[in-house]
Amino acid sequence: MIQVEVFAEIDAPPSVVWDALLSFDTYPEWDPIGRTIEGVAVETTARAGSAEPPDFTRLLDGPIAVTVDPGRRLAWLDRLVVPFAFDRYHEFHLVAIDGGERTRLLQRETVRGAFAPLAFDEARVERAFVEMNDAIAARAERRASANAIA
């Protein structure tokens, strides 16, 4: 198992950071990782609270949400076709700080599987997460400023 964690403190409340984080359609505009995400939270939000566990046995063509706790946590699993060959568990945690006016953001990725040591570059991923957290912070802080003016 390999894990990368990157924290950022953002001058915006968690609800604003959450909205920026869930603006999947805008990721190609600002996400330095170049990730595209389509409907992850939308498709699974209803299922996230159900007693029925997600079906991890199917072949995945992209990430599926495994945890959606609005305003607090988003996590997804992405897998390289065969389970346990290269599984990436990616998560974002948002914690209110300074009386809820600011947010501490944690972005974490845990990688497991036979190909993990060969295919996962920790230093590159950490740099990308720092850039992505900075981009999320910039978007959220702009939105918070716009909301304060309005």
Query: 36-56: per-residue pLDDT in tens?
Result: 665 544 443 433 444 444 443
Q: Is the pLDDT of residue 89 over 80?
A: yes
Of the two residues 137 and 33, the one the predictor is more confident about is 137
Judge residue 61's burial from the number of C-beta atoms within 10 Å of its C-beta, 0-12 exposed, 13-18 middle, 19 or more buried. Answer: exposed
Report yes or no: 14 and 72 within 8 Å, Cβ to Cβ: yes
Residue at token pair 């997600």: 54
For 78, the domain range is 2-149
**CATH number of the domain encompassing residue 109:** 3.30.530.20
Number of domain units in the chain? 1
Q: Which of 64, 115, 70, 114 lies closest to 92 in space, CA to CA?
A: 70
User: Distance (Å, rounded) from C-alpha 68 to C-alpha 45?
Assistant: 6
